[in-house]
Amino acid sequence: MRGVIAAGHPQTAAAGAQILGRGGNAVDAAVGAAFASFIAEAVLVNIGGGGMAQVFNPAEGRSTVYDFFSTMPGLNGKPPDKPDFRRILVDFGPTQQPFFIGRASAAVPGVVAGLCQMAADLGRLPLEQTLRPAIELARQGVEMTPALAYVARILTPIFTDTPGLAAIFAPNGRMVQTGERLRLPQLADTLERLAHHGPDLFYTGDIARQIVADQQAHGGLITETDLRQYRVRRLEPVAVPYRGRTVLLPPPASLGGVLIAFMLRLLEPLEPARFTHNRTGHIRLLAEAMRVANQARAEQAADILPGPAQDEAVRRFLSDAVVSRYRQILTRRLADTPLPPDLPAPGGPSSTTHISTADADGMVVSVTTSAGECAGFVVGDTGITLNNMLGEIDLHPQGFHRLPPGQRLSTMMSPVIVLRGGQAELAVGSGGSNRLRTAITQFLSNVLDFGMDLQTAVDAPRVHFEEDVLQLEGGIDAAVAGSLEQYGYRVNCWPDRNMFFGGTHAVARQNHRWTAAGDARRGGTVEVVVNGE
């Protein structure tokens, strides 16, 4: 077997499988699939966003985190007199949510730099071969799936905000529908140039000049210095022992990775498997662990920021003294009624996607990308759209445009790798804003505590506790909801599985072979490559 891949769209997974079949390794497959996702999953992610990845290299027996999330723009620049920063109201049916878009909502994009750096460091194929499936997909187009058509419909005000973007996503005067083909020929041309020139095209070359010119002409903040000085960060993962394994999680800019590590440390001595899965006792344990993690985040995690002091801040937050104190709070909460209120917790962009890959040599990759909801415009005739990370309310609790230029934004993205006996056993990640950390934690517990196989662990109904509401996904017994209400929980029961609860695409070595599981909540698809093309 050459390798496996799990991703959020059939064409994304097919691109990775094609690269594996041509002799690429897991890094080549993950990078090529990520670029393909910018076409196949264009209403969720784009080439002007940011991301985070983790790669286990069996030749070295170590894992490296690649942080290529967005940074605050404005280095050596003068703020525009009239920033292009506009409020858009998106109708989700039961509720409406404001988003901010425009040129001044775009943070410095890092995804091209990060993916190309991974390919240069650890890939086997030349960039032209790695990008070929994405280029072909952009030219031929991709049919809209029902799930992505739903997202497109919800975000119609953003994708039709400017004529250039509307020409792509609403070519007939309405948003592209299920079964219709979305084509991105201008982006295909840009990817062809990227294959030839490499990432310098985006950061010091012609594309960089076009991005800066567009920003200067239309009230944006990104400068030539921002792009030229952008750097991918290679980091050591945060390592947490759990049930005889080592769970490797990304450090800041991923606050999500640190919070997952904290929840695992809370849970392990309390033995989740002593409860019946998804019955009252088990769900109460999960809900109170989530509540306590929110409390610890508010009280202890304010100084966990990307930078030279991050390692010490993370060590302090995950120390025995801090975790034990909050575990005692958790234990008391399980015994006490009435329940205390939950503290508000900032989230992050919900428009994310994840890819997990593994190859026959034991190289494993977990990569998550996001562009927020898209900034609502296209850069000239490049086909490039940018992120709106500066317009994400959850990422800027102190107010918009307050961060200093050059500072890395924080993210919930958490690409995870699990080791056993020094070798990679599992890789997983998820989309889903604040829910992705609880989705990943539950998936890991399903596998490591309850011994579920990969697909069962992915499919199992999930819960999420936030802002004093316990969300129960469809598939959890109604009697359990009633019992939880008697304990004082305000319960919201969902009728079915839903993308609200994340999308945990995973690969794992089980019974001496690699398997994969895609999460149907977010279009999950699996490809297993046995032989070459």
Catalytic residues: 352
- Closest to 507 (Cα-Cα) out of 424, 451, 400: 424
Alpha-carbon span 201 to 192, nearest angstrom: 11
Decide: 37 and 49 in contact? Cβ < 8 Å. Answer: no
> Can you say whether the dihedral through the CA atoms of 347, 297, 519, 480 is positive or negative?
negative
Alpha-carbon span 287 to 323, nearest angstrom: 17
Decide: 526 and 467 in contact? Cβ < 8 Å. Answer: no
Give the Cα-Cα-Cα angle 236, 356, 195 (nearest 5 degrees): 85
> Which tokens belong to 178?
């299920």
Q: Classify residue 350 by its DSSP letter.
A: S
Alpha-carbon span 307 to 533, nearest angstrom: 44
Alpha-carbon span 393 to 399, nearest angstrom: 8
Alpha-carbon span 44 to 371, nearest angstrom: 7
Q: What is the CA radius of gyration of the chain?
A: 22
Written as one letter, the residue type at 133 is P
For 319, other C-beta atoms within 10 Å of its C-beta total 12
How far CA 451 is from CA of 244, 272, 368, in Å, comes to 13, 12, 25
For residue 352, the cross-strand partners are: 370
Only one residue has tokens 């975790």, namely 323
Alpha-carbon span 478 to 469, nearest angstrom: 16
> Which tokens belong to 130?
């790695």
Q: Which contiguous run of DSSP H or E holds residue 371?
A: none
> Which tokens belong to 431?
């989309």
Alpha-carbon span 500 to 75, nearest angstrom: 36
Written as one letter, the residue type at 203 is Y
> Which tokens belong to 36?
């393909």
Decide: 460 and 520 in contact? Cβ < 8 Å. Answer: no
Collapsing DSSP states into helix, strand and coil, what is residue 241?
Answer: strand
Decide: 422 and 61 in contact? Cβ < 8 Å. Answer: yes
Is omega for the bond preceding 338 within 30 degrees of 0, making it cis? Answer: yes
Written as one letter, the residue type at 356 is S
Give the Cα-Cα-Cα angle 295, 301, 303 (nearest 5 degrees): 150
